[in-house]
Amino acid sequence: MEDNISDKLELVRQKCLHCNKCSLCQTRTNIVFSGGVPNPKLMLIGEAPGYYEDQKGVPFVGKAGQLLDKILGCVGFSRERDIYICNTLKCRPPENRDPLPEEKAACREYLDAQVELLKPRIILLCGRVAVNSFIDTKLGITKLRGKWFEGPYYSKMMPIFHPSYLLRNDSREKGSPKWQMWQDIKEVRRVYDQLS
With CB under 6 A as the contact rule, which of the stretches 16-24, 56-64, 73-81, 170-178 interacts with ligand URA?
56-64
> Which residues make Cβ contacts (< 8 Å) with residue 88, sequence separation at least 6?
45, 46, 47, 48, 99, 104, 107, 108, 111, 129, 130, 133
* Residue closest to ligand URA when measured from CB atoms: 46
* Shortest Å distance, C-beta 85 to ligand URA: 7
The answer to the question of residue 59 lying near ligand URA (CB under 6 A) is: yes
The answer to the question of residue 114 lying near ligand URA (CB under 6 A) is: no
How many beta carbons lie within 10 A of that of residue 57, not counting itself? 17
With CB under 6 A as the contact rule, which of the stretches 16-24, 58-66, 106-114, 175-183 interacts with ligand URA?
58-66
DSSP state of 131: H
Beta bridge partners of 160: 126
The answer to the question of residue 50 lying near ligand URA (CB under 6 A) is: yes
3-state secondary structure of 119: coil
Would you tell me which residues interact with ligand URA (CB under 6 A)?
Answer: 32, 46-50, 53, 59-60, 64-65, 87
